[in-house]
């Protein structure tokens, strides 16, 4: 779909006149996404500012990419147009916790760490634990449907978002969902916008459900000789009555050697944590220790990784996939990180900084191994696929980083057409060039 777009943005446009000092500055090289630098960085301080910027964008056919803490690394295809980097961290006033209702409403730019500090004071928390909580913003988390290990027990953003306020590509401003934990009134627009990567609407405010803060938590580490052992442990664990908060694994490869580790997070009262540790040992054998960092998770890639792939597959295929990939790449790649959420079936594969030369073979190997592991008719996993979360822009040419064409792509294109007809929001970045 081709749209008439202006090549440059008029920073003196009337629409921007309301922006105060520090809210509008020229774009720089560091603001680039996939090698494309924006002309301006706008930091709205209110939904009105935001609407003004969107209005101008629509009139002039500009491309906007909304950004929170950018902790996701802004995955996506090469932007079709990128004029404004919309920095949402300026919208960070509201933080309304309602412990008795077990909900919290925040402006999109409020960081996860700030939310959880406020909730902790009332004995609660938002059960999301992606990396870099100090920088990750509520809006960014929701737009990217972020999660960490706690997803095992509490789900991802999708499961925790109750309502939100948005400005969509048609410049409509509205509240959707609700501020209560249960609501089925009307179509579930919050679900539409969660994980839409800023391609339909800009989230300005979010309401989450909260959970009680456990008295104690521990991350227990277990080591295994090979994938069969790890997978056996997974099967025993997940069919047991152990109510884990998180069950992550890593299968890092270094210099041809693979190490298999499992990290289990258990939570509860002191007694309950000890009891669960006992149960886990009984199921898995002796633990090698506890992580000093309660939030340690092997799933998230180093910030400077050269390549990150996010693989979705059935839990029972995780270990076999990791082993197959490592053995396929053993000769060509020196160092490879593989980590995943075992209960969910989500694995991240990453190559360290400086291994750009190995990106293409790694991606191809990942595709082959996934097919190999999941083609087994018993696996019933025709849906398994991966997203290329991070690669240098030159690797994105001619490729959809989101993976295979998803079922219902024409519906998705229809939604884009309805909610952002002028294609001003992250144009071209999402799946199928949406």
Give per-residue burial for 17-40: e unless 16+ CB within 10 Å, then b: eebeeebbbebeeebebbebebbb
Instruction: Name the CA radius of gyration of the chain, rounded.
Output: 22
Adjacent-strand bridge partners of 203: 166
Using rule CB under 8 A, residue 241 touches another protein: yes
From candidates 180, 228, 288, 353, binder to another protein by CB under 8 A: 180
| Comparison of 9 and 346: residue with beta carbon closer to another protein | 346
CA gap 396, 402 in Å, rounded: 10
List the interface residues with another protein, window 137-176 (CB under 8 A): 145, 151, 155-156, 158-159, 168, 172-176
Task: Scan for tokens 């500055």, then name that residue.
Answer: 25
From candidates 17, 185, 292, 331, binder to another protein by CB under 8 A: 185
List the interface residues with another protein, window 282-321 (CB under 8 A): 310, 312-316
List the interface residues with another protein, window 202-221 (CB under 8 A): 211-213
List the interface residues with another protein, window 328-357 (CB under 8 A): 344-346
Q: How many helices (H) and strands (E) does the chain have?
A: 11, 19
Using rule CB under 8 A, residue 182 touches another protein: yes
| Comparison of 126 and 313: residue with beta carbon closer to another protein | 313
From candidates 21, 186, 377, 398, binder to another protein by CB under 8 A: 186
Using rule CB under 8 A, residue 4 touches another protein: no
Smallest gap, in angstroms, from Cβ of residue 332 to another protein?
A: 28
Residues 94/118, Cβ–Cβ less than 8 Å: no
CA gap 205, 47 in Å, rounded: 9
Task: Retrieve residue 170's tokens.
Answer: 């048609």
List the interface residues with another protein, window 11-40 (CB under 8 A): none
Using rule CB under 8 A, residue 376 touches another protein: no
Stretch that binds another protein, among 42-50, 66-74, 96-104, 331-339 (CB under 8 A): 96-104
CA gap 161, 433 in Å, rounded: 26
Task: Scan for tokens 């995780």, then name that residue.
Answer: 318
From candidates 132, 275, 330, 396, binder to another protein by CB under 8 A: 275
List the interface residues with another protein, window 109-138 (CB under 8 A): 123-124
Task: Scan for tokens 């799946």, then name that residue.
Answer: 431
Using rule CB under 8 A, residue 183 touches another protein: yes
| Comparison of 45 and 158: residue with beta carbon closer to another protein | 158
From candidates 89, 196, 219, 337, binder to another protein by CB under 8 A: 196
| Comparison of 13 and 102: residue with beta carbon closer to another protein | 102
Using rule CB under 8 A, residue 104 touches another protein: no
CA gap 162, 428 in Å, rounded: 28
Residues in the chain: 434
From candidates 37, 131, 179, 433, binder to another protein by CB under 8 A: 179
For every residue of 32-70, DSSP letters joined together read: -BTTBPPSEEE--SSHHHHHHHHHHHHHHT--EEEESS-
The C-alpha angle 428, 82, 112, rounded to 5 degrees, equals: 85
| Comparison of 38 and 315: residue with beta carbon closer to another protein | 315
CA gap 327, 115 in Å, rounded: 42
Helix (H) or strand (E) holding 350: strand 346-351
| Comparison of 81 and 387: residue with beta carbon closer to another protein | 387
Using rule CB under 8 A, residue 403 touches another protein: yes
């Amino acid at each position: 779909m081709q749209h008439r777009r202006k090549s440059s943005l008029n920073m003196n446009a009337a629409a921007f006149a309301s922006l105060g000092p520090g809210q509008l500055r020229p774009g720089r090289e560091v603001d680039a996404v996939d090698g494309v630098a924006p002309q301006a960085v706008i930091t709205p301080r209110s939904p009105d500012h935001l609407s003004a910027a969107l209005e101008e964008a629509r009139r002039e056919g500009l491309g906007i990419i909304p950004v929170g803490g950018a902790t996701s690394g802004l995955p996506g295809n090469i932007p079709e147009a990128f004029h404004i980097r919309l920095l949402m961290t300026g919208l960070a006033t509201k933080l309304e916790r309602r412990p008795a209702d077990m909900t919290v409403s925040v402006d999109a730019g409020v960081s996860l760490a700030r939310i959880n500090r406020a909730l902790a004071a009332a004995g609660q928390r938002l059960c999301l634990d992606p990396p870099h909580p100090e920088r990750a913003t509520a809006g960014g988390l929701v737009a990217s449907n972020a999660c960490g290990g706690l997803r095992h027990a509490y789900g991802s953003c999708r499961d925790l978002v109750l309502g939100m306020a948005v400005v969509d590509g048609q410049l409509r401003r509205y509240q959707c969902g609700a501020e209560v934990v249960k609501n089925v009134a009307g179509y579930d627009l919050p679900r539409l916008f969660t994980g839409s990567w800023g391609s339909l609407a800009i989230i300005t405010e979010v309401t989450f459900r909260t959970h009680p803060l456990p008295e104690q938590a521990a991350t227990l580490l277990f080591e295994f000789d090979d994938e069969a052992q790890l997978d056996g442990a997974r099967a025993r664990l997940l069919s047991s009555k152990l109510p884990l908060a998180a069950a992550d694994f890593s299968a890092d490869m270094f210099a041809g050697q693979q190490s298999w580790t499992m990290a289990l997070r258990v939570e509860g009262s002191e007694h309950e944590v000890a009891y669960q540790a006992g149960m886990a040992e009984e199921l898995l054998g002796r633990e090698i220790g506890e992580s000093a960092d309660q939030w340690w998770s092997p799933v998230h890639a180093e910030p400077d990784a050269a390549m990150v792939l996010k693989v979705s597959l059935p839990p029972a295929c995780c270990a076999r996939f990791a082993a197959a990939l490592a053995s396929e790449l053993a000769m060509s790649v020196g160092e490879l990180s593989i980590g995943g959420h075992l209960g969910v079936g989500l694995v991240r594969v990453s190559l360290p900084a400086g291994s750009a030369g190995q990106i293409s073979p790694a991606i191809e190997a990942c595709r082959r191994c996934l097919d190999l592991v999941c083609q087994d008719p018993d696996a019933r996993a025709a849906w398994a696929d991966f997203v290329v979360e991070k690669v240098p822009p030159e690797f994105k040419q001619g490729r959809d980083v989101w993976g295979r064409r998803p079922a219902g792509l024409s519906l998705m294109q229809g939604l884009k057409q309805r909610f952002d007809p002028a294609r001003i929001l992250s144009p071209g970045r999402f799946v199928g060039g949406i």
